[in-house]
Amino acid sequence: MPAELAPSASATEDLEAAADQAIAACDADAREAVKALLLANDFLEAELDALRSEVSAGYARGRGRRARDRKE
């Protein structure tokens, strides 16, 4: 991995701690932790899609999915 894309030491430590917390929350079952994280990610993506649909095109200034949908 190129140096400019490598996470910092503190970011890596934070990621490791978050992974440990997720696994601990699932009684040390890594498979259940992955499933829980995937479920949480799906929920957040659905929430983001709902919020994107509520933001006016003028406020977003053409950013996001609406920018890709428009015809030029």
Give residue 39's pLDDT band: very low, low, confident or very high (50, 70, 90): very high
Which tokens is 36 given? 């829980």
How many domains is the chain built from?
Answer: 1
Is 42 among the domain residues? yes
Please give the residue that has the higher pLDDT: either 1 or 40. Answer: 40
The closest of 4, 38, 68 to 30, measured between CA atoms, is 38
For 40-70, how does the pLDDT look when each residue is reduced to its tens digit (9 = 90+)?
999 999 999 998 888 877 766 666 554 455 5
Residue 3 lies in a domain: no
Q: Which residue has the tokens 């994280």?
A: 37
**What pTM was computed for the model?**
0.61
In this predicted structure, what is the pLDDT of residue 19? 93
Domain membership of residue 60 (yes or no) is: yes
Does residue 1 fall inside a structural domain?
no
**What are 6-30's pLDDT values in tens digits?**
778 898 999 999 999 999 999 999 9
Host domain of residue 27? 8-69
